[in-house]
Structure 1
Amino acid sequence: MKSIIVSLLGKDKPGIVERIAKQVRLFEGNWLASNFAHMAGHFTGFVEIQLPQKKITPLLEQLDSMPELNIRLVEGETSPAQAIRASLEIMGNDKPGIVQEITSVLHQFNINILRFSSSCEAAPNWGGLLFKANIDIDYPEGFDIAPLSLALEQIANDLVVDIDWQE
């Protein structure tokens, strides 16, 4: 059995995930994990599938026959087992540079971003946009989070956003 990651991108319409799941099952695959999103009329996502090596090419050919989707394959890798996961919730008045500043701090500490989700929505009380983000990260066991927490607190003050840290 081999683990593969299939990425998908295309115009959104009902039934895409069901069609993919049907093909995975048809080719004796096991759906391990997935993450899908809809944005601006498009559908995108990743699916981690485990299946027999000889079934990979036929599955990809079948998925490629779905003209509304662009398909890409990468081989799966195992994640480091000793990583500690944490989540950051960010909220504040929207302004250019929030994502760059926060991700820059995470990069300075060699922190891996596992999931990043953000949005802007109307802030009726302020008359502008409210920026919200959720970031899942991991860091090695034994990592001293105090300097990272301090750096995030400082950048939150500079950007005038709230950053809530949860392990």
Structure 2
Amino acid sequence: MKTLIFTLVGKDKPGLIDSVARTVYQLGGNWLGSNFSHMAGHFAGFVHIELPAEQHQTLIDTFEKHPDLDIHLVEGEPSQTHLPATAIVEVTGNDKPGIVQELTNVLNRFNINIRRFDTSCESAPNWGSQLFKATARIDMPDNFDTDALRAALEDIANDLMVDLIESDQ
């Protein structure tokens, strides 16, 4: 078996995941994990599969002909021998240009790997502007000072609320 990761993007419509899953199954593959999202009428995702090595080229040929998705295989074996401690960072505050860059810059200064990052803006009439929300799952280095990270994130803006929840993967 060969382990593969592929990305896919296309205009959203019913049946997209089913068509990809059917192809993987018909070629003897095993679906190990996935992450999908819908945004502005488009659909995007990542999929991690195992596939018999002799079916690799058939999968590539089939995906190249998909009528609704642009699919790209990522070559190479994913590997991670040490799974670091993780945390969830939830941030809420008034939206402003550059807020994502400021948040990711703080995380980068602490040498933190972002495993997942979801953001949104929603109407907040009682706040007088758009409300920005972000949730990040992060890898934390050993002996990490979560209080220092929380303080650095809160320093971005005086109206920013930050919750940091340590987790077990």
* Structures share fold, TM-score greater than 0.5: yes
Within the alignment, does 1:110 sit opposite 2:107 as a pair?
Answer: no
Report the alpha carbon displacement of residue 145 of structure 1 after superposing the two structures with TM.
3.4
AA at the equivalent of 2:36:
F
Aligned length: 165
What residue identity is the alignment partner of 1:19? Answer: S
SS in 2 for 1:100: helix
Match of 2:82 in 1: 81
RMSD: 1.5
SS across alignment from 2:155: helix
Measure, in 2, the Cα distance between the counterparts of 1:166 and 1:51. 36
Aligned to 1:162: 161
CA change 1:159–1:3 in 2 (3 A) is farther
Q: Conserved in 1, the CA contact under 8 Å of 2:150 and 2:162? A: no
1:15-164 map, 5 Å: 15-74=15-74, 75-155=76-156, 158=157, 160-164=159-163
Identity across matched positions, percent: 50
> For residues 164 and 133 of structure 1, do their structure 2 counterparts lie closer, same or farther at Cα, with a shift above 3 Å needed?
same
Between stretches 68-77 and 22-31, larger displacement belongs to 68-77
2:46 and 2:158 mapped to 1: Cα distance? 32
State the shift of 1:140 in Å. 2.7
SS of residue paired to 1:35: strand
Q: Which runs of 5+ in 2 are unaligned?
A: none
Using the size of structure 2 for normalisation, the TM-score is: 0.90
Mapped to 2, the partners of 1:120 and 1:80 lie a distance apart of 36
Query: What is the CA-CA distance between 1:60 and the residue it aligns to?
Result: 1.9
- Deviation, 1:159, is 5.1
Letter in 2 for 1:44: A
Is this contact kept in 1: 2:8–2:44, CA < 8 A? yes
Instruction: Give every structure 1 segment of 4 or more consecutive aligned residues whose post-TM-superposition deviation is greater than 4 Å.
Output: none
For the 8 Å contact 1:82–1:140, the answer to whether it is kept is no
**Matched-pair contact (CA < 8 Å) for 1:48–1:76:** no
Q: Deviations over 1:76-111 (max 9, x none)?
A: 412342401111111111111211111001111110
SS at match of 2:57: helix
User: How far apart are the structure 1 equivalents of 2:48 and 2:2?
Assistant: 10
Amino acid at match of 1:164: D
Q: Letter of the aligned partner of 1:96 in structure 2?
A: P
Q: Is the 8 A contact 1:119 1:132 kept in 2?
A: yes
Distance 1:62 1:28 in 2: 14
1:95 maps to a residue whose letter is K
Distance across 2 between alignment mates of 1:76 and 1:116: 23
- Letter of the 1:151 counterpart: A
CA-to-aligned-CA distance 1:21-76 (integer Å, 9 cap, x gap): 10110111110110111111111100001112121111121122112211111134
- After TM superposition, give the deviation of residue 160 of structure 1 in Å: 2.2
